[in-house]
Structure 1
Amino acid sequence: MSEQIKGPASYFPSIEKKYGQPVQHWLGLLAGQREGLKHMELVNWLKAEHGLGHGHANALVAYHLAQAK
């Protein structure tokens, strides 16, 4: 029995399928942003600059910020 993935990472397969890039690509882009940007600033950046949907951008940013802590 496989363990169900929860939280932001549960979006990763659909993000990779929809946008054609591995999750590490998006996390790398987020890591390249200047420090101190707020959650929604990063979400809006992904949406505006890379065309991600809100839910996908939100999941990537939440995961990215959680890993940074």
Structure 2
Amino acid sequence: MAEEKIKGPASYFPSIEKTYGRPIAEWKALVRGRLPAKHMELVAMLKTEHGMGHGHANAVVAHTLAEEGA
């Protein structure tokens, strides 16, 4: 049986971990530490404070907020 391809924001996770050298759990913890905040405020924080690209930041925030039920 073929392995199912990861879709959505999580598809970015291997690249994020490789590019920025931190596990996804740490990035999610940073996002959760800033809640409550708006999606784009969280994206901006990852971009400005941690140098993350927009697509990667958006993926981390979207996935984290979905887990939080926000």
TM-score range, shorter chain: over 0.9
Deviation at 1:65, TM superposition (A): 0.6
Residue number in structure 2 paired with 1:8: 9
TM-score (norm 2): 0.94
Name 1:64's counterpart in structure 2: 64
CA RMSD of aligned residues (A): 0.6
**Structure 1 residue 34: Cα displacement:** 3.4
Unaligned runs of 5+ in 1: none
**TM-score for the superposition, normalised by structure 1:** 0.95
Q: What percent identity do the matched residue pairs reach?
A: 62
Runs of 4+ in 1 over 6 A off after TM superposition: none
Aligned pairs (5 A) from 1:1-69: 1-35=2-36, 37-69=37-69
